[in-house]
A and B are shown apart, each in its own frame.
Chain A
Amino acid sequence: MSGSRGKVVEALVESFNKEFPAIKVEAVYSGSYAETVTKGLASVKAGKPPVLLQSYEVGTQTMLDSGAIIPVYLLNKGEVDFGDVVQPIFKYYSVGGKMYSMPFNSSTAMLYYNKDLFKEAGFNPEKPPETYDDLYSIGKKMVDTGIAKGGLSLGWPGWIFEQMHAYHDQLYANNDNGRSGKRASEVLFNKAFGVKILTEWQRWSKDRVLFYGGREYSANAPFVAGQFGMLMQSTSSLGGNIKKSNFDLGTAFLPRMSGYPKGNSVIGGGSLWLMKGHSDEVNAAAWKFLQFLFRTENAITWHKGTGYFPVNNKAFEALIEEGWFEKEPRFRTAFDQILSGKSTVAATGVLLGNFVQIRDITQTAIEEIVVNMKDPKAILDDAKAKSDQVLKDYLSMVE
């Protein structure tokens, strides 16, 4: 993992190696998630897979179908109670109630905002925007008064687009987002809702309220530098953003678009997959390591260092007991958001074959719309056609 997250991973690995001198775990950074999934799967063909592979949620269906993994529930001889896994996270990584990969770095998206800029623009810094309309008017004022270059930016824009579907209880793909027992064969993001969201974003961008900040984490730097007032980004950036910003940083629920039903923000981030091709002894050692990460105190370290969810309920309870959330209420926002949402089919998260490519397609489509100002409907229709072709090819290979 990159940035400050990587350092926390290293520290965890180091303490594991100290505790289990007979086992040596080596964490290797192999680039972005997309590159890691690709390299990991390519290494299967070459016969040299890693023991554990950290894949993002987008890689889930691909990993499941790859035939290159050992589901973690098979290793569990009662050492870990998967019932302890926080519900929405459990739902995301399990198929038919069974855990296939070990949840590790789970996050969701939330709104970060710059309280200083809110004050300067004449808004109550304790009242973050709850709706798209509020967000727009706050952002507009920031731009018009010249105190910021933009109102809002997005981290992982393609992912935020998916989040918006789940958050407003809209399906992103057919067959219940690919979770009905049949794999998804068609995406639905070019329906009225998707077009509406991107038409909004485009309008914001035209009025310079939306400051397009690039993919993944690149919008964080200008945000902490105070160039715009708000940022929709993964909760995993919380630790880093607090450290790097020299203003009063606020966190809030994602704003909603009025007139649509309530869903929930969806789990993102990654999980650890056990790869085939190693001795039982190595697999057992890997399982030890996974248990170690799941342990309450380590889940807590991980959460505090990054802003990712502690994946098990015990850790969450321990954090409450310790008074952590009173001391650091910003670390609680994402929890409250995800626990107050409605758990619907659409909010469980999308499973798509070769989602890596589809994410790339939507990401590009978003840029065409908010940067190059092309017609949202036409671009989304085109992106849907491309995505459906990807799904068709994928299904032709696995079914």
Chain B
Amino acid sequence: MQTTFKSSKWLPYLLLSPSIIIVFIFFIIPGAESLYYSFFRLNITGTKKYFVGMNNFVRLFQDSEYIGSLVLSFSFTVCVVFFGLGISLAIATVANKKLKLFNVYRTLLIWPYALSPAITGIIWALMFDPSIGVITNILERVFGITFTYFNNSTHAVIFITITATWKMLGYNIIFFLAGLQGVPGEIIEAAIIDGAGKWRSFWRVIFPLLSPTTFFLLVMNTLYAFFQLFGLLHVVTEGGPGRATYLLVYKLYRDGFISMNVGYASAQSIMLLIIVSSVMLLQFKFAERRVFYGT
């Protein structure tokens, strides 16, 4: 028996409504509120406010700390994305073999992704602890390097980059693995028959076929590096020493929630939205041209 489905004009809206409501409550309304507050200066309890026009934005670009944070965030993002994608692609390629316990390995590989950034921070902070850390002790005994991430700005940046990259590795590897498994064997065979070496067939054949995955991961990792590292920073370096690891999200937090400069922090969140959207736009405009989605 065939059931007929009477289409209603309202049905699509009804089905979409849960997500729309969530988006409204958690994204659109707070976002609009931020936009509104970015034109005001508020007192500490938030009971008084003065309209200051674009003053918060003007100040932002006169604030050497903000400019520093901007530059730092960009370079940090580039590092995390570059190393993150590079290392995971290498691991995925090596792991892409017909191994016995493939599913087990795959599950293990994604574990780091399940950790919250704060927990990741604690784990790595323990390993890099100046007195009891495993890694610091190895560095000191074997290489004679004293590594103290809260005592040395360069070390702090290296520490944060390693930790942040590691946390995304699992996620990246899983996607690369899925991508690699989707590459048809006969294409590679054909390439080898045509005389391409392993290296050549990888870069000329496999890598282009992986481009949708790579592009997707590029976008996800960029968003991750910009937005999701607050917990990590908060637990390990608190933006320091000095302003060494003061990424945009962390400055926003300090200004908004510690210094209670709600207007100024709102302006920063609006700027952050604009910056990240522009980065995304550029990526879609330029990087996506090189993506091959197959025929």
**Which A residues are closer than 8 A to B by beta carbons?**
34-35, 38, 41-42, 44-45, 62, 65-68, 211-215, 218, 221-222, 225, 227, 354, 356-357, 360, 364, 367-368, 371-372, 374, 382, 386, 390, 393, 396-398
Contacts and interface: CB of A to CB of B under 8 A. Distances in A.
A371 B46 contact: no
B254 A360 contact: yes
Interface majority SS on B: helix, strand, loop or mixed? loop
Interface in B58-99: 64-65
Interface in B40-64: 41-48, 50, 64
A391 to B, nearest CB: 12
Contacts of A38: 257-258, 260
B259 A67 contact: no
B118 to A, nearest CB: 13
Contact of B241 (A62, A354, A371, A390): A371
Nearest to B146: A149
Nearest to B240: A367
Nearest to B256: A38
Top 10 closest A-B pairs, CB basis?
Answer: A357-B259, A367-B242, A368-B242, A397-B43, A45-B46, A371-B241, A367-B241, A214-B150, A212-B151, A44-B45
Contact of B258 (A45, A65, A360, A382): A360
Contact of B45 (A66, A212, A371, A386): A66
A235 B130 CA distance: 25
Contact of A41 (B44, B64, B261): B44
27 contacts: A34-B258, A35-B257, A38-B260, A41-B45, A42-B46, A44-B46, A45-B47, A66-B44, A67-B45, A67-B47, A68-B45, A212-B150, A213-B150, A214-B240, A354-B260, A356-B260, A357-B258, A357-B259, A357-B260, A360-B254, A360-B259, A367-B241, A371-B241, A372-B153, A372-B242, A390-B259, A398-B43
B47 A211 contact: no
A212 B258 contact: no
Nearest to B46: A45
B259 A356 contact: yes
A368 B243 contact: yes
Interface string B83-123: 00000000000000000000000000000000000000000
B131 interface: yes
Interface in B229-270: 238, 240-244, 254, 257-261
Interface of B: 41-48, 50, 64-65, 130-131, 150-153, 238, 240-244, 254, 257-261
A213 B257 CA distance: 25
Nearest to A382: B64
A364 B238 CA distance: 10
Given A34-B258, A41-B260, A62 B240 contact: no
B41 A397 contact: yes
A214 B245 CA distance: 14
A222 B131 contact: yes
Given A35-B258, A356-B260, A382-B64, 18 more contacts: A35-B257, A38-B258, A42-B46, A44-B47, A45-B46, A212-B151, A214-B151, A221-B131, A222-B131, A227-B131, A364-B242, A368-B242, A371-B153, A371-B241, A372-B242, A396-B41, A397-B41, A397-B48
B131 A371 contact: no
Contacts of A68: 45
Interface majority SS on A: helix, strand, loop or mixed? helix
Given A212-B241, A398-B43, A357 B261 contact: yes
B227 to A, nearest CB: 21
Contact of A215 (B151, B238, B244, B257): B238
B240 A45 contact: no
A35 B253 CA distance: 11
B258 A356 contact: yes
A55 to B, nearest CB: 12
Given A222-B131, A393-B41, A371 B259 contact: no
Contacts of A225: 131
B259 A354 contact: yes
A68 B47 CA distance: 10
Contacts of A371: 151-153, 241-242
Nearest to A369: B242
A364 B131 CA distance: 24
Contacts of B261: 357, 393
A155 to B, nearest CB: 13
B38 to A, nearest CB: 15
Contacts of A227: 130-131
A386 B96 CA distance: 54
B60 to A, nearest CB: 13
Contacts of A212: 150-151, 241
A62 B258 CA distance: 12
B240 A364 contact: yes
A113 to B, nearest CB: 19
A393 B267 CA distance: 16
Contacts of A218: 150
A396 B52 CA distance: 12
A160 to B, nearest CB: 16
Nearest to A153: B151
B240 A215 contact: yes
A227 B243 CA distance: 26
A371 B150 CA distance: 9
A222 B152 CA distance: 16
A66 B64 CA distance: 30
A372 B45 contact: no
Nearest to B49: A397
A393 B43 CA distance: 9
A360 B242 CA distance: 10
